[in-house]
Amino acid sequence: MKKIFWQLMAVVAVIGAGWTMRAQADDLNYTVQADLPKNQINQKVSYFDLKVTPGQKQNLTLHIKNSDSKEHRYTVSPNLAVTNDNGIIDYSQANAKADDSLKFNIKTALSKKQVVTVPAKSSKAVTIQLNVPEKEFKGVALGGINIVQELSGKKQQASSGMAINNQYAYVIGLQLQESDKTTIKPNMKLHSVKAEQRNYRNYVSANLQNNQPVIMHGLKIKSYVTKAGSSKKVLTTNKENMSMAPNSNFNFAIGDGNKQLKAGKYTLHLTATADKGKWQFTKNFTITDKTAKALNDTAVTEKQTNYFWWFVALGVVIIALLGAIIWLLLKNRRRQD
């Protein structure tokens, strides 16, 4: 009976292990530092904040220090700053699409991506060429230099058999302006409103645009969706501490992602505040039967997610019953002895 008991416990342990995936990250073994030039506006920051003139040419230098015991290769990519769908300024997108309001794409003024090899326990200087266009630009041009250590090819294996690659990146921000002071204020516009899916969860998405060459700080959004002609809130999302890159847009998600979407006519109500500016939008939109069905069929919603917990509960009950049966058999065996 004891042998049977431990065999059953081993089966339970294997099942439990199958529900767990673990990944251990490598230690970060390199650092990056920028050499701030004489035309640096703010000497207290660690990124490039430069005062430039039309037609100016300049070499920007940064140092990659490899503290590992073996050499590594690093990809250095100058990128345009955009706003990601979490409302965060993102410098890491190598193929970021420029907003239609952007007049000067800073990426076009920087040298192309390069791969640098740094020997073990040493550092290397990397040069990025900056060519400011002859045509004057207003406000701020924002970008970043993304430094990523290339993977060695060795993949970490999780207990489930899935391959996991851990990768770190450094970003050195790059901000250019041709005037020390700017009177330009950010401005928000609401473009499309539609139903969409993210990570197998359904949301209503509002495309918001900052169409001015200046960073939008301290962005707060209060939003809700109603049926057209109704005041009852169907979906609600409030978010703060966001920001937007100059001349950029992002898709703000409304809802918690746990509800199935129903076809019909709706109205979005959205209020945004940032940098002492305030914008209010009301926009009607429609979710078609085809769109609702396509999204709901592939979404992980509350209704579908609950099945998982039913299976967990069933597993607990089965384990409890097995334990009770084993206990009764052991008790009965002792009586017979």
Most confident of 151-160, 219-228, 324-333: 219-228
For residues 255 and 118, membership in a common domain is answered with: no
From 322, 332, 39, select the one nearest 178 (Cα to Cα): 39
For residues 43 and 136, membership in a common domain is answered with: yes
For residues 169 and 38, membership in a common domain is answered with: yes
For residues 293 and 319, membership in a common domain is answered with: no
What is the per-residue pLDDT across 207-241, written as a single tens digit (0 to 9) for each?
999 999 999 999 999 999 999 999 999 999 999 99
For residues 285 and 328, membership in a common domain is answered with: no
For residues 161 and 230, membership in a common domain is answered with: no
Q: How confident is the model at residue 324 (pLDDT cuts 50, 70, 90)?
A: confident
Q: Is residue 20 part of a domain?
A: no
CATH of the domain at 278: 2.60.40.10
Q: Is residue 327 part of a domain?
A: yes
For residues 294 and 314, membership in a common domain is answered with: no
Q: Is residue 11 part of a domain?
A: no
Which one of 142, 177, 212 terminates a domain? 177
What total number of domains does the chain contain?
A: 3
Q: What is the 3-state secondary structure (H, E, C) of the chain?
A: CHHHHHHHHHHHHHHHHHCCCCCCCCCCCEEEEEECCCCECCCCCCCEEEECCCCCEEEEEEEEEECCCCCEEEEEEEEECEECCCCCEECCCCCCCCCCCCCCCHHHHECCCEEEEECCCEEEEEEEEEECCCCCCCCCEEEEEEEEECCCCCCEECCCCCEECCCCEEEEEEEEECCCCCCCCCCEEEEEEEEEEECCEEEEEEEEEECCCCCEEEEEEEEEEEECCCCCEEEEEEEEEEEECCCEEEEEEECCCCCCCCCEEEEEEEEEEECCEEEEEEEEEEECHHHHHHHHHHCCCHHHHHHHHHHHHHHHHHHHHHHHHHHHHHHHHHHHC
Better-scored residue on pLDDT, 18 or 36:
36
What is the per-residue pLDDT across 261-295, written as a single tens digit (0 to 9) for each?
999 999 999 999 998 899 999 999 999 999 999 99
What is the per-residue pLDDT across 158-204, written as a single tens digit (0 to 9) for each?
444 444 455 678 999 999 999 877 789 999 999 999 999 999 999 99
Which one of 144, 177, 210 terminates a domain? 177
For residues 199 and 281, membership in a common domain is answered with: yes
Which one of 177, 200, 219 terminates a domain? 177
Average pLDDT over residues 3-29: 43
Pairing of strands 89-90, 72-80: unpaired
- Give the model's pLDDT for residue 5: 40
The two tokens of residue 148 are 């990523």
Q: Is residue 170 part of a domain?
A: yes
- Give the model's pLDDT for residue 303: 53
This prediction has a pTM of: 0.78
Percentage with pLDDT > 70 across the chain = 85
Q: Is residue 126 part of a domain?
A: yes
For residues 160 and 282, membership in a common domain is answered with: no
What domain range is 325 assigned to? 309-337
